[in-house]
Copies of this chain bind each other. A is one copy, B any other.
Amino acid sequence: MDDVRFAVLGTGGIGRRTLEVSQHKDGLTAVAACDRNGVALDHDGLDVEELLDATEGNIASGPEEDVATDGGAAAEPVGSTEGVKQHGDQAGIVASEQGSPTETPIDDVIAESDDIDAVLLALPNLEHDFIPRVAERFAEADYGGVLIDVLKRSRVIGMLDDREDLLKESGITFVCGAGATPGFLTGAAALAAQSFVEVEEVEIWWGVGLKSGYEDNRGTVREDIAHLDGYDIEEAREMSEEEIEALIDEHDGVLEFHDMEHADDVLLERAGICDAEDVHVGGVLDVRSDEKPTTTTVSVTGTTFDGETGTNTFELDDATSMEANVNGPALGYLKAGVRNNRAGHYGVFGPADLLPSF
């Protein structure tokens, strides 16, 4: 495949690490990145290292995100605040030599999107329809390329489907739910299902140890809290940082989740693997240790053509961080999205739609 030129909207943990991981492979060129206050654009390729160095622990955030400034955590232990810039006019991308201040960062990227093959939407978790509305803006500008997100919420998939005609007209291939779970693990479930003519149950069970990555992933933690008994997404969004800390204290830093609203269910159903209701997602998050509290496992139970019932499993080594399991697969799906887009396949695709299945 030819070179893929991509942009990242949002330079929180996921956006930054996607830029970082992309440097490890050939054929991926980062040409644009933006955050709330700034944009960096270079069609010959951004200097990713400079951009990451200049913005480390210096994430431009607004009122929805009360992001601490000692982050950059995946690469840097908590507490290392040396050289960290404070919020203000010079926060975020504008602190980079390559960045310019802007009040319309997304529009600035859209304006240059003719030469961009794929755009990763690594935006904070705002309203349910925020990502779908960003997609609309790209479609209205007649963008013909890939949009990809790492969203988790089942209901957002339907909102994207509602806009499928618009996306198709524009020539957009929207790959949704393409992080770790949904994403990597959804794909693993689709693959593991190939032994079976009928899938009875998919169980996705994840473990995340987030001590040194906590600051970078507050948005994700907040999103997870919405799945605890007695909470929902609205409630989690309105919690102050102090309330979240108190909740985490109550649980000694370890939160266990069951039957989460995770888009794996609708993404597997739309790919014809199984019914959404037969998909169960849960896991354990430890924000005070980098060790995973439980091993991330996908179990697919089904019946073979010759009448046997069995369970195939996919297990991630505890040593592989959530970050590694989000960003590699996200880039893999991004490239698969570009292949599909170049082949004229437009509309909404989940991870399992991009895998062989019979």
Q: Which positions in A face B, CB cutoff 8 Å?
A: 17, 20-22, 24-25, 28, 74-75, 184, 187-188, 191-192, 194-198, 304-306, 308-321, 323-325, 327-336, 340, 343-345, 351, 354-358
In contact, A356 and B345 (Cβ under 8 angstroms) = no
In contact, B329 and A356 (Cβ under 8 angstroms) = yes
Given A197-B21, A332-B357, check contact A312 B323 (CB 8 Å). no
In contact, A320 and B195 (Cβ under 8 angstroms) = yes
> Copies of this chain, how many?
2
Residues from chain B with a CB closer than 8 A to the CB of A305 are 17, 20-21, 24, 323-324, 327-328
In contact, A356 and B335 (Cβ under 8 angstroms) = yes
In contact, A188 and B191 (Cβ under 8 angstroms) = yes
Which of A75, A188, A305: most chain B CB closer than 10 A?
A305
- With A194-B325, A310-B319 known, 13 other A-B pairs at CB within 8 A are A187-B356, A188-B192, A194-B332, A195-B329, A304-B319, A305-B327, A310-B317, A310-B318, A312-B320, A330-B358, A332-B356, A332-B358, A343-B343
Residues from chain B with a CB closer than 8 A to the CB of A197 are 21, 24-25, 328
Given A195-B320, A308-B321, A328-B195, check contact A355 B358 (CB 8 Å). no
In contact, A194 and B356 (Cβ under 8 angstroms) = no
In contact, A315 and B316 (Cβ under 8 angstroms) = no
In contact, B328 and A306 (Cβ under 8 angstroms) = no
Secondary structure at chain A's binding surface: helix, strand, loop or mixed? mixed
In contact, B194 and A328 (Cβ under 8 angstroms) = yes
Given A28-B358, A329-B356, A358-B334, check contact A187 B195 (CB 8 Å). no
Residues from chain B with a CB closer than 8 A to the CB of A17 are 305
Given A24-B197, A195-B325, A358-B25, check contact A320 B308 (CB 8 Å). yes
In contact, B312 and A312 (Cβ under 8 angstroms) = no
Q: Name the CB-closest residue of B to A212.
A: B306
In contact, B317 and A311 (Cβ under 8 angstroms) = yes
Residues from chain B with a CB closer than 8 A to the CB of A312 are 314-317, 320
CA distance A184 to B187 in the complex (A): 13
CA distance A304 to B332 in the complex (A): 15
Q: Shortest CB–CB separation between residue A65 and chain B, in angstroms?
A: 23
Q: Shortest CB–CB separation between residue A14 and chain B, in angstroms?
A: 13
CA distance A180 to B239 in the complex (A): 50
Partner of A191, one of B191, B335, B345: B191
Given A306-B74, A306-B75, check contact A324 B357 (CB 8 Å). no
Q: Enumerate the 8 nearest inter-chain pairs by beta-carbon distance, A residue then B residue, closest first.
A: A310-B317, A343-B343, A310-B319, A331-B358, A336-B356, A304-B324, A24-B197, A332-B358
CA distance A323 to B196 in the complex (A): 11
CA distance A333 to B351 in the complex (A): 16
Residues from chain B with a CB closer than 8 A to the CB of A354 are 356
In contact, A320 and B310 (Cβ under 8 angstroms) = yes
26 cross-chain CB contacts under 8 A: A17-B305, A21-B197, A21-B358, A28-B358, A187-B355, A188-B192, A188-B314, A191-B314, A192-B314, A194-B328, A195-B325, A304-B320, A305-B327, A306-B324, A310-B318, A310-B319, A312-B315, A312-B320, A313-B314, A331-B358, A332-B358, A333-B356, A335-B358, A336-B355, A336-B357, A340-B343
